[in-house]
Amino acid sequence: MITIISGTNRPGSNTLKVAKYYQDTLVKKGQEANILSLTDLPEQLIISDLYGKRSPEFKKIQEQITATEKFVFIIPEYNGSFPGVLKTLIDACDFPDSFYDKKACLVGISSGKYGNIRGIDHFGGVCSYLHLHVLPLRLHIPAIKTELDEHGNFYKEDTLKFTGQQIDKFIAY
């Protein structure tokens, strides 16, 4: 199973739109792909789930993560890096069962012109520590507001080409 993690808890985000695009594309290619939106994290996460007091809401998320063999992380740029809520999710998950020796694909997005290059590099360091094997083809999609049509789909030829290549390589990975 593939889990696509929409790496922000911002409601109505472009990150979630990109996650849905990846899900639709993976499903069309015969893959089982689910989305974990960080908007679904329990409100008490930093009080309970970070320190061993599992909430029923996070238990379901933990079960999904444990059952996942491959992850696609859609990561927006927050202050030159990745969102703290994404790191909080990682910290709340069981170690090593959640990510150890599993596979990941990284997609950086930003409203600026660099597509979250630094944030993807920073998150790559976290992945290394977790023994999460990252597909070498990492995408950086800048100016995300100009990349999506009114249905939340990519439409520019280059973006379609590169996301398609990344998805095909990740399926084979």
pTM of the complete model: 0.96
Per the CB < 8 A criterion, the answer to whether 70 and 31 are in contact is no
Q: What pLDDT digit, counting tens, does each position of 105-124 carry?
A: 999 999 999 999 999 999 99
- Average pLDDT across the chain, whole number: 96
